[in-house]
Structure 1
Amino acid sequence: MANPNKAKGTAWESAVRDYLNAFLGLVSESGTFINPMSGENVRRAAQEGAKDVGDIHAAPFVLEAKNTRAPAVPTWIRQAEVEATHAGFPYGIVVRKVRGSSVAMGRVHVSVRTWTRVRLALGMPTQEFAVLYGWSVSLRGLDTSRWYLTTTVADFARLLADFRRLVPEGVSHGAVR
């Protein structure tokens, strides 16, 4: 790969995919899919050009992976949500690399709207959901479109596993119909 920044981004996407698949028990010890045809497998998405579908598909989430120095979280979240729509998934989120830390300590960012929709799908009270999955709030001035919530990749992996286990298939679990 000629572009070093592209190589860093690809490495981060692959690391997140591999972490989530291992956490969810979807791969063997050698890293191969236990059931290659399963829709539950976390996969890196093929690039779709103008109708980008995000970097990683972890149904029901589309993850936009970022490995950059300067954060632009609200912009990235809007991008992830558009790409989730293009991919036909209900939730778009951002997963950002933290320099010098493990994949598990990467940061997951979601809009207040997405956070609320996921919480409601799980049927959890606000405080319980926030504490159980380690969410913290970032408020950027009075413009609520710039507000977001953050957790770690490790906490998101637990959330993903619980969501898949607790939320019935047709309820915001797979592709948007």
Structure 2
Amino acid sequence: MANPNKVKGTQWESDVRDYLNAELGLVDEYGKFLDVFDALNVRRPAQEGAADVGDVHAVPFVLECKNVKRASIPTFLRQSEVEARHAGFPYGVAVVKAHRMNVRRGKVYAGVRTWTRVRLALDVTSREFAERYGFTPSLRGLDTGRWYMATELEPFARLLADVRALRHAP
């Protein structure tokens, strides 16, 4: 029998992938890709072992998906940032399942540096960015390396669409 925690984790990764593909209009009503060769399709890559490239690729983000009882957000964020580098993506975020909630209510966490880089790419103020995408801060002590910003998967899908529109504008 498969490890039940691995099964839950894999299911969460698939749920996140499927939700984002549907929200971004990349799949039909049956969940099939409209264009299987589109580089912007959200995918679950094959695991790479020591040079892991993350759980879900949503260009330009690597998503480290977690379905756990006790979340260690700073650890998950460090992992997502390392995996983004391995995959050659500019941004890494953690997506944590919200217990007994719809996938759209999953929590998306970004380190302050990543959050700032995405905000600057979109050329909006901190306040405007936080309000538009529902981000709230978590400032843990004086160590800025442990600070992060949080939102839900639903507004993150809008953010992803906006970043992609910027990157692919004529």
Q: Map 1:1-177; keep pairs closer than 5 Å.
A: 2-168=2-168
| Contact 1:122–1:167, Cα closer than 8 Å, also in 2 | no
Equivalent pairs: percent with the same residue?
Answer: 62
In 1, Cα distance between equivalents of 2:69 and 2:36: 35
Ranges in structure 1 where 5+ consecutive residues have no aligned partner: 170-177
Aligned residue type for 1:68? V
- TM-score norm. by structure 1 comes to 0.94
Structure 2: which amino acid aligns with 1:135? F
> Matches of 2:33 and 2:16 in 1, distance apart?
15
CA RMSD of aligned residues (A): 0.9
**Aligned partners of 2:59 and 2:11: how far apart in 1?**
21
Task: Kindly provide the CA deviation profile for residues 100-129 of structure 1, in whole angstroms up to 9, marking residues without a partner as x.
Answer: 100000000000000000000111111100
Shift of 1:47: 0.2
- Alignment: residue pair count: 169
Tell me the SS of whatever aligns to 1:150: strand
TM-score (norm 2): 0.97
* Cα distance in structure 2, aligned partners of 1:34 and 1:130: 32
- CA apart distance, 1:168: 4.4
Task: Please tell me the residue identity of whatever aligns with 2:33.
Answer: F
Structure 2: gaps spanning 5 or more residues: none
